[in-house]
Structure 1
Amino acid sequence: MGRSVIRSLSVAARESRNVVEVLSSRGLLGHTSNREKIVEAAKSPMKVYCGFDPTADSLHLGNYLGLVALKWFQVCGHEVFCLIGGSTARIGDPSGKSGERPIMSAQSIERNSIRIEQSIKRILGRSVKVVNNLDWVGNLSFLDFLDTIGRNSRVGSMLNRESVRSRLESPTGLSFAEFSYQLLQAYDYAHLHETYGVTLQIGGSDQLGNMQAGVDLAKKLKPEGETLHTLTFPLLTTADGKKYGKTERGAVWLEADRLSPYSFYQYLIQAQDADVTNLLRKLTMLPEESISKAQEELLEAPFSAQRLLAETLTRDLHGEDGLASSLRATDVLKPGSRLDRSQISAELLLSLTSDLPVVTVKRKVLLEISLKSVLLMLKLGKRSGLEQLLRDGHGYINNERLEAGDRRISEDDLLEGQVMLVGAGKKKKGLVRVKDEPGPQ
């Protein structure tokens, strides 16, 4: 989102609406510890935080809800903190999980933490304060843990939390480490309040129990301290209640090297009509007037709202260049595309290696085989079917149709000598990368 847009949103939000009202209107307000008190507190600048465990080297679309909520706090004049769980990631939050997370190495967590911090700062800007709970939990001895946190926590309350009860009743049970997760998250809130003056924690609705534990612990550690607040946002779901942000290949990642801008764009543009308005409202900061207009135009212009969603989010997360490459790739890969090799670059095709079947072939070998062999390598059809398809003139190299029959691959077929796009009919496409070997070919 451009700085001028954020600036205008900031002015409008501060002059006309409380951040709690803004979040409510965007579908980003779930349970609150006390809505009236938060509304009152938000009339002055607040310090608010949201936590992210570095269990992967990229955040995903579900995490993005928290970042959008923080962005609304920013434009309404509040100071935002992002907590990276360098210590809690070693335990794993049992909330919403049917079994214990795999143990991660300290090196992996550190690498993930660095990447996630970079992502957060790219999305929220330099004004966001990023902290890591490894800095205060990493040096906490077990005796200090028991004395500072354990002594001020009631087992009965911990057992009553849904994330704990559901796992205790499951076949896998709950380890002591996972049981302690809520205590460490509680200590995070108490520490941020004591160190930075944070008075509001936000998080997904599945974090409610852990967040309340933080309020309780902070109050016991400092009985005369300020009132602390919690606010949840609903998880990202479809109209029929299914979790949104998953594909057959896994999560919808925010980093381009985990999910290409093209795949990200394609995922969003395929949103159902019943979901798209909700997604526009929750995941973008477009004005309500633009969202209402997009909803009205759906009947007359199918997929117009989906295009608005896909283009807005792709631009927000991958910039103008990412959006441009996504649109270009969409044009190149759509069935029956008329874009020929003069309109396709090697750089564009190489950016799609995670989106299409890919085979890497030695240059010498490639120049001795035919298109049919390449299509077989890519598993775009069976031999007999491909032979008939080629006889009928439905083979493609760089979107250029072979009139009839098969032919050998030539050096001229390779874009910039590196890669080519092949097709078995208008829909099935794949990439061939060239591998050069040292010495004589």
Structure 2
Amino acid sequence: MDIDNQQAQQNDVSFANVWQELLWRGLIQVSTDQGELEKALSEETVTYYCGFDPTAPSLHLGHLVQLLLMRRLQLAGHKPLALVGGSTGLIGDPRPTTERSMQTKEQVAEWVADIQAQVQPFLSFEGDNAARMVNNLDWTAPLSAIDFLREIGKHYRVGTMIKKDIVASRLNSDEGISYAEFSYQILQGLDFLELNRQYGCTLQSGGSDQWGNLTSGTELIRKAEGKSVHAIGTPLITNSDGTKFGKSEGNAIWLNPEMTSPYEFYQFWLNTADADVVERLKIFTFRSRAEIAELELATAERPHERAAQKALAWDVNSLVHGVDATQKVIAASAAIFGNGELSELDEATLSAATAELPRATVSADGLGIVELLVAAGLSESNSAARRTVTEGGAYVNNRKVADLESVIETTELLHGRYLLLRRGKRTMAMVEVQDS
């Protein structure tokens, strides 16, 4: 995230307090006592935390919801604790259907560092309510098994634990659930207890599908410390048709640009359906209620302009990858369709922008326009390719080629090896040229 991005962020002053804004933005799916939470967030400085387990080398779209919730609360004056789970990542929270594959301790430690680096730009680590990064391995590693059972395990009842939705579904499956994953909720409860003791943390946030783990902590603190603390469960991000996004669905939108390129990331938001775009603007951008209302009206009256989608894509891509990367993505989109200079695109952006196009490989001595159109699959035969050229429908790197005998010079290759071929306005293919 750019520093300028962070400085431009603010909560909407048209709301009475941050809790009311969170409700309006649809960020509260479930919570402990709403009245008490609103009172605390309005009258006190609350220390709160969210945990991120290193079960992959990157966070994804669902985690972005948590990061933005944390940022909104920090902007309201509250103190965030960002927990990256060096110990819980060694176990992994139970998945709905199958046991997780455990990673090595070295791999988990590497992912802890990766995710800490991803979390850090979203929060401010300066000022009176500076964020703090914490790792639960710091307090779980020194615990012996006996101490863990005596001091923490004694507060848990197996009957209650097996009623948790995720545990119940796994118990009823053919695979069942291991004791390791079954115990995950105790480890997460321990995190909340430890953060409450060390930093006075009284609020935890997480996805609503983690509600059983969230309340594990509130119950443990009630039993061990005699205190009442709070939890917030945010909604899972789905399309209006119910489609989910995440690792388990195989279509995760990653925050790491090497796993989901800025171009793919931008296009994901740009392709948001009209039915979903307003809710996405509320959750994923810092645009005000008034600004979002204007975009909602534009979507209703002039849907073809896709003003809301463009605003959403710009805001979220800039937030995650920076303004410069977003400008490159927009330039790439324009250049691919003939409204910009392809030669000005860096290789990574060009590759991402053309990733879904048909691709072909040719030798450097086969760069005649007719042969290229056929090799790229844009024409079925030499005669069809010749018709395309004579009718003015053949383009190489957005340059119209009207001469049937034209041979493309190697000086025209993008990054020394690529050609973008187009037939007509929108039918394209990428050709990679190899030395003959």
- The TM-score bracket by the shorter chain reads 0.7 to 0.9
Question: Residue in 2 aligned with 1:90?
Answer: 90
Contact 1:88/1:185, CA 8 A, preserved across alignment: yes
Alignment counterpart, residue 133 of structure 1, candidates 119, 136, 141 = 136
Contact 1:422/1:432, CA 8 A, preserved across alignment: no
Question: Residue in 1 aligned with 2:213?
Answer: 210
Count matched residues: 419
Residues of 2 paired with 1:374 and 1:316: CA distance?
40
Question: Residue in 2 aligned with 1:369?
Answer: 366
Contact 1:268/1:309, CA 8 A, preserved across alignment: yes
Q: 1:285-364 alignment to 2 at 5 Å?
A: 285-302=286-303, 303-334=306-337, 337-339=338-340, 343-345=341-343, 347-355=345-353, 356=355
Q: Deviations over 1:359-407 (max 9, x none)?
A: 797xxx8422236776777xx5288357623542244321223325475
SS at match of 2:176: coil
Decide whether aligned partners of structure 1 residues 249 and 178 sit closer, same or farther in structure 2, where only a CA change above 3 A counts.
closer
Contact 2:378/2:427, CA 8 A, preserved across alignment: no
Question: Residue in 1 aligned with 2:33?
Answer: 34
Structure 1 spans left out of the alignment, 5+ residues: 436-440
2:140 equivalent to 1:143:
no
Question: Residue in 2 aligned with 1:438?
Answer: none
Residues of 1 paired with 2:170 and 2:29: CA distance?
23
2:166 equivalent to 1:168:
no
Contact 1:269/1:310, CA 8 A, preserved across alignment: yes
2:119 equivalent to 1:120:
yes
Q: Deviations over 1:296-321 (max 9, x none)?
A: 01133321111111111111112110
Question: Residue in 2 aligned with 1:427?
Answer: 427
2:284 equivalent to 1:283:
yes
Q: Which amino acid aligns with 2:146?
A: L
Residues of 1 paired with 2:252 and 2:200: CA distance?
34
Q: Which amino acid aligns with 2:55?
A: T
Residues of 1 paired with 2:358 and 2:224: CA distance?
58
Residues of 1 paired with 2:156 and 2:281: CA distance?
41
Decide whether aligned partners of structure 1 residues 404 and 62 sit closer, same or farther in structure 2, where only a CA change above 3 A counts.
farther
Residues of 2 paired with 1:286 and 1:153: CA distance?
43
Residues of 1 paired with 2:219 and 2:171: CA distance?
23
Question: Residue in 1 aligned with 2:183?
Answer: 180
Contact 2:329/2:349, CA 8 A, preserved across alignment: no
Decide whether aligned partners of structure 1 residues 376 and 203 sit closer, same or farther in structure 2, where only a CA change above 3 A counts.
farther
SS at match of 2:294: helix
Question: Residue in 1 aligned with 2:385?
Answer: 389
Q: Deviations over 1:37-95 (max 9, x none)?
A: 11222111100111111122221111111111111101110001111122212212115
Alignment counterpart, residue 9 of structure 1, candidates 8, 11, 15 = 11
Decide whether aligned partners of structure 1 residues 387 and 151 sit closer, same or farther in structure 2, where only a CA change above 3 A counts.
farther
Q: Which stretch of structure 1 is more off in the superposition, 283-292 or 391-400?
A: 391-400
Residues of 1 paired with 2:20 and 2:348: CA distance?
45
Q: 1:250-269 alignment to 2 at 5 Å?
A: 250-269=251-270
Alignment counterpart, residue 194 of structure 2, candidates 191, 196, 199 = 191
Decide whether aligned partners of structure 1 residues 258 and 119 sit closer, same or farther in structure 2, where only a CA change above 3 A counts.
same
SS at match of 2:346: helix
SS at match of 1:388: helix
Decide whether aligned partners of structure 1 residues 55 and 401 sit closer, same or farther in structure 2, where only a CA change above 3 A counts.
farther
Residues of 1 paired with 2:240 and 2:86: CA distance?
34
User: How high is the sequence identity, in percent, across the aligned residues?
Assistant: 33
Contact 2:167/2:182, CA 8 A, preserved across alignment: yes
Contact 1:92/1:100, CA 8 A, preserved across alignment: no
Q: Which stretch of structure 1 is more off in the superposition, 255-264 or 173-182?
A: 255-264
Q: Deviations over 1:346-368 (max 9, x none)?
A: 5434323245159797xxx8422
Q: Which amino acid aligns with 2:35?
A: E
Q: Which amino acid aligns with 1:169?
A: N
2:70 equivalent to 1:70:
yes
Residues of 2 paired with 1:123 and 1:76: CA distance?
15
Q: Which amino acid aligns with 2:21?
A: V
Residues of 2 paired with 1:115 and 1:373: CA distance?
46
- 1:203: how far off? 0.8
- TM, length-normalised to structure 1: 0.86
Decide whether aligned partners of structure 1 residues 134 and 431 sit closer, same or farther in structure 2, where only a CA change above 3 A counts.
farther
Residues of 1 paired with 2:68 and 2:33: CA distance?
22
Contact 1:261/1:325, CA 8 A, preserved across alignment: no
Question: Residue in 1 aligned with 2:233?
Answer: 232
Residues of 2 paired with 1:193 and 1:390: CA distance?
74
SS at match of 2:32: coil
Residues of 2 paired with 1:188 and 1:270: CA distance?
39
Decide whether aligned partners of structure 1 residues 27 and 248 sit closer, same or farther in structure 2, where only a CA change above 3 A counts.
closer
Decide whether aligned partners of structure 1 residues 153 and 386 sit closer, same or farther in structure 2, where only a CA change above 3 A counts.
farther
Decide whether aligned partners of structure 1 residues 402 and 164 sit closer, same or farther in structure 2, where only a CA change above 3 A counts.
same
